[in-house]
Each structure stands twice: as C-alpha cells, then as structure tokens.
C-alpha cells in the first residue's frame, strides 16, 4: 500500500495495525482512543455500524463528547451519505453542508471513511474536528488503510 509521508500517521498506523493483530475484545474502542490521542485534530472519533434490515447506522464505540445521534438513516447527513455512496467524505466547513447533522457547536469539520467488506458498505469511521479545515489527502489515505484492515471484523 501507499507509504505515508507524515511521521505521526506512519507511527499511528503501526500502532493500529498492532492492535488489530492482537484483536482485543474492545478493538474498535481502542482504535478510537488511539486515533484521538495521537492525531491532534481528531476531537471525536467513532464507528457507525450498518443495520442492514433497518437501513440505518447504529453508533458503535466512540471517544469524545456524548452524542444524541445514536441512529442515523442511510442517506441522512454526512454519515448517511457515506453509507449510501460507499465513498469517503471530507467536509472542511460543516456550516456549508445543507444536510449536516450537528453533533456539537465545537465541530468545524468532519471526515467519514467507509468500511467496505466484499464490496459492500458495513460500517464507517467518523471523525469530527474542532479545527477549521484540518483534513487533507493524507488523512483520507491513512484512515482508508485502517478501515480496509478492519473490514474482516464486520
């Protein structure tokens, strides 16, 4: 896979890979903790898991302020759009998104990366930032690699 130029992403990816290989019971929560701790602009990190029957996302493990958005319909908000499209979305300014579901006044930007298993959407990694426009192509690639490694866990 692509090498990462950012030292923090390279080191953090290694730590995440080590966690995945250990496969602890609370793997997703521990990944959330690690990402929030290691990357300064990751202020809320969590997983939403697809409930295929209900066609909605269900909040899984997360780290950050509590959210009332425990269930999100496919297609609704940024998370729901990623579930529908199966493609990463980066929003540098959440106030500019018509369909945005606010998780808090501090959130300025968001990145949502799908977890695809056998070509089908199964979950997603959602990250909110209190920083303006912090996400770049390297965040997308870094998080996509993590999600690809996690696909078999769903």
Q: pLDDT tens, 116-149?
A: 999 999 999 999 999 999 999 999 999 999 999 9
Confidence of residue 98 (pLDDT cuts 50, 70, 90): confident
Lowest mean pLDDT among 69-83, 96-110, 138-152: 96-110
Number of domains in the chain: 1
Q: pLDDT tens, 15-55?
A: 999 999 888 889 999 999 999 999 999 999 999 999 999 99
CATH number of the structural domain spanning residue 104: 3.30.450.40
Residue 58, beta-bridge partner list: 49, 71
Is 82 a member of any domain?
A: yes
Is 128 a member of any domain?
A: yes
Is 1 a member of any domain?
A: no
The structure's pTM equals 0.92
Residue range(s) defining the domain that contains residue 72: 7-153
Q: pLDDT tens, 74-87?
A: 999 999 999 999 99
Is 56 a member of any domain?
A: yes
């Amino acid at each position: 896979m692509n090498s990462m130029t950012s030292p923090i992403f390279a080191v953090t990816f290694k730590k995440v890979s080590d966690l995945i290989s250990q496969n602890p019971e609370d793997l997703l929560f521990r990944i959330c903790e690690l990402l929030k701790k290691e990357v300064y602009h990751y202020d809320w990190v969590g997983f939403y898991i697809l409930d295929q029957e209900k066609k909605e996302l269900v909040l899984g493990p997360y780290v950050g302020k509590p959210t009332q958005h425990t269930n999100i319909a496919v297609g609704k908000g940024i998370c729901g759009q990623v579930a529908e499209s199966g493609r990463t979305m980066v929003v540098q300014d959440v106030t500019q998104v018509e369909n945005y579901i606010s998780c808090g006044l501090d959130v300025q930007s968001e990145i949502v990366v799908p977890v695809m298993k056998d070509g089908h959407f199964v979950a997603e990694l959602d990250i909110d930032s209190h920083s303006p426009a912090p996400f770049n192509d390297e965040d997308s690639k870094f998080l996509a690699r993590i999600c690809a490694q996690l696909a078999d866990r769903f």
